[in-house]
Amino acid sequence: MKTHIAVATSLLFLCASLITPSLSAFLCHPSDYNALMEIKNALNNPYHLASWVPNTDCCGWYTLQCDETTNRVVELTIFSGQVSGQIPSAVGKLPYLTNLTFRKLSNITGSIPRSVTNLKNLITLRLSWLNLTGPVPDFLSELPNLTFLELDFNQFTGSIPSSLSKFTKLLALHLDRNQLTGSIPESFGHFSGSVPDLYLSHNQLTGSIPKSFANMDFQRIDLSRNKLTGDASVLFKPNGSTQIIDLSRNVFEFDFSKVKFPRQSLISLDLNHNSLYGGIPEDIVNVENLQFLNVSYNRLCGEIPTGGKLDIFDSYSYFHNRCLCGPPLLKCK
Ligand SMILES: *[C@@H]1O[C@H](CO)[C@@H](O)[C@H](O)[C@H]1NC(C)=O
Ligand SMILES: *[C@@H]1O[C@H](CO)[C@@H](O)[C@H](O)[C@H]1NC(C)=O
Ligand SMILES: *[C@@H]1O[C@H](CO)[C@@H](O)[C@H](O)[C@H]1NC(C)=O
Ligand SMILES: *[C@@H]1O[C@H](CO)[C@@H](O)[C@H](O)[C@H]1NC(C)=O
Ligand SMILES: *[C@@H]1O[C@H](CO)[C@@H](O)[C@H](O)[C@H]1NC(C)=O
Ligand SMILES: *[C@@H]1O[C@H](CO)[C@@H](O)[C@H](O)[C@H]1NC(C)=O
C-alpha cells in the first residue's frame, strides 16, 4: 500500500514538472514572448495560433522562427488561416525580425501600423492577399535593410509614395493588384542603390512613364492593366539587362519601329492591348533568348520579320493589328 502511494506521488510530481517546466529553461526572450502574446490577443486568440501556448517556449511555436545563436524571434509568418483584425501594432516590439509575413488572410483589414518602422533589421515585408486599405504609407521608406516589399492583392488607394525610391537594397517592389491612382513617381528613376524589379500591374495608374526611367535598367517591369499613356520606348535599352517587360492593357502610344531591344537579356515582351503604331523592328530577330512575345491588339502595320527566335510564335502573338502581315498571319498584299 505504502509503495503504491509513493509511486503515485512521484508520478504526480513527474507529471507536474513536465507540464510546468521552469521558465528559465526557455530559449524565448521574455520581451519577444510578451510581444507575441500581445499579437495573439490583438488577433482575438485565433485557432491558427493554437501552438502559442502561454508559459511555453515561444521558440518552439509554429509560424515563427528564432535565431539559433541569439534565440531572438527573426521570422514571423501568418499565412492562410481564419485570422481577423488589423495587423497588430505589437509586431513593432520584435526588434530582431528579419522577415515578416501576413499573407492570404482576407479578414485582415485596416492599415499598416507605423510601429513596423522599429524593425530596422527587416529584410522582407510581405503583407499580401489581405484586405488592407488606405494609402501605401510613406514611412515604409524608413526600413533601411528592406530587400523585398510585397503589398500586392490588397485594397490600397491613393498614389504611390515617391519616398519608396529611398530604399538602397530593394530587389523587388510589389504594389500590383490594388486600386492605386496617380502617376508613377519621377523618383522611381532614381533608386539610390539596387534597381528593384517593379510590379505595378492591375491598378488605375495614369500619366506617362517618367523621363527619369532613362537612368534605370530594370530587370523585370510589369505595368500591365493600368491606364498609362504616351511613349514607353524609354524602357528598351539596347545594352541593358531587361528580361521581362509587360505593358499590356494600357493606352501606350508610340512608334514601335524605333525601338531597340536589349538583345542579350530580353526573354518576355507583352504589349497587347495598347495603341502602338509603326512596324515590328527587324532587330527583334536578334534577341537571343526571346521566349514570349505578344503585340496583339495594337495598330501595327507591315511585314512581320522572320528568323531567329521569332519562328516559334503563332498568330496569337500578332493578331488584331491594323495591317500586320506575313507568316504566321496572312500573306502581305
Ligand atoms: C471572415 O469573417 C467572416 C465574418 O466574420 C467569417 O464569416 C469568415 O469565415 C471569415 N473568413 C476567414 C477566412 O477567416
Ligand atoms: C528571409 O527572406 C529572405 C529573402 O526572401 C530569405 O533569403 C531568408 O532565408 C529569409 N529568412 C528566414 C529566416 O526565413
Ligand atoms: C476582403 O476582400 C474580398 C474581395 O477581395 C471581399 O469579398 C471581402 O468582403 C473582404 N472582406 C473584408 C472583411 O473586408
Ligand atoms: C541592416 O542589417 C544589418 C545586418 O544584416 C545590420 O548590421 C544593420 O544594423 C542593419 N541596418 C540598420 C540601419 O539597422
Ligand atoms: C552598346 O554596346 C556596344 C558594344 O559594347 C557599343 O558599341 C554601343 O555603342 C552600345 N550602344 C549603346 C546605345 O550604348
Ligand atoms: C496575346 O494577348 C491576347 C489578348 O489578351 C490573347 O488573346 C492572346 O492569346 C495572347 N497571345 C499569346 C501568344 O499569349
3-state class (DSSP) for residue 99 = strand
Domain annotation covers residue 50: yes
pLDDT, average across residues 131-143 = 97
> Which of 201, 271, 294, 319 for a ligand 6 pocket mutation test, highest count of atoms within 8 Å of Cβ?
294
> What does the pLDDT read at residue 211?
96
> Which of 131, 152, 177 for a ligand 3 pocket mutation test, highest count of atoms within 8 Å of Cβ?
131
Strands 155-157 and 73-79: unpaired
Domain annotation covers residue 139: no
Contact 277, 301 (CB under 8 A): yes
Ligand 5 centre distance from Cα of residue 240 (Å): 10
> What does the pLDDT read at residue 15?
43
Task: Point out the ligand 2 atom lying closest to the alpha carbon of residue 99.
Answer: 1
Phi, psi of 135 (to 5 degrees): -75, 155
Question: Which ligand is in closest contact with the Cα of 73?
Answer: 2
Question: Which ligand is in closest contact with the Cα of 238?
Answer: 5
For residue 149, name the pLDDT band (cuts at 50, 70, 90). very high
Read off the CATH number of the domain in which 96 is found.
3.80.10.10
Phi-psi region of 273 (alpha: psi -120 to 50; beta: other; left: phi over 0): left
pLDDT, average across residues 107-115 = 97
- Residue-wise pLDDT tens digits, 15-56: 444 444 445 568 899 999 999 999 999 999 999 999 999 999
pLDDT, average across residues 243-265 = 97
Contact 135, 156 (CB under 8 A): yes
Domain annotation covers residue 333: no
Task: Point out the ligand 1 atom lying closest to the alpha carbon of residue 105.
Answer: 13
> What does the pLDDT read at residue 60?
94
pLDDT, average across residues 86-105 = 98
- Ligand 1 contacts CB of residue 109 (under 6 A): no
Q: How many CB atoms lie within 10 A of CB 217?
A: 15
Domain annotation covers residue 107: yes
Residue-averaged pLDDT of the chain: 93
> What does the pLDDT read at residue 18?
46
Domain annotation covers residue 315: no
Judging by beta carbons within 10 Å of its beta carbon (0-12, 13-18, 19+), is residue 151 exposed, middle or buried?
buried
Domain annotation covers residue 242: no
pTM of the model: 0.90
Which positions ≥6 away from 8 have C-beta within 8 Å? Answer: none
- Rounded to whole angstroms, how far apart are CA atoms 167 and 288? 33
For CA atoms 120, 124, 129, 133, the dihedral sign is: positive
Domains contained in the chain, number: 1
> What does the pLDDT read at residue 17?
43
- Which residue range(s) make up the domain with 97? 28-134
Domain annotation covers residue 20: no
Asked whether the predicted pLDDT for residue 3 surpasses 70, the reply is no
DSSP state of 251: E
- Rounded to whole angstroms, how far apart are CA atoms 190 and 281? 29
Q: How many CB atoms lie within 10 A of CB 5?
A: 9
- Ligand 1 contacts CB of residue 192 (under 6 A): no
Domain annotation covers residue 272: no
- Rounded to whole angstroms, how far apart are CA atoms 84 and 279? 52
> What does the pLDDT read at residue 26?
80
> What does the pLDDT read at residue 288?
93
- Ligand 1 contacts CB of residue 44 (under 6 A): no
Radius of gyration of the chain (CA): 27
> What does the pLDDT read at residue 215?
87
3-state class (DSSP) for residue 144 = coil
Question: Which ligand is in closest contact with the Cα of 125?
Answer: 2
- Residue-wise pLDDT tens digits, 168-183: 999 999 999 999 999 9
- Residue-wise pLDDT tens digits, 200-241: 999 999 999 999 999 899 999 999 999 999 999 999 999 999
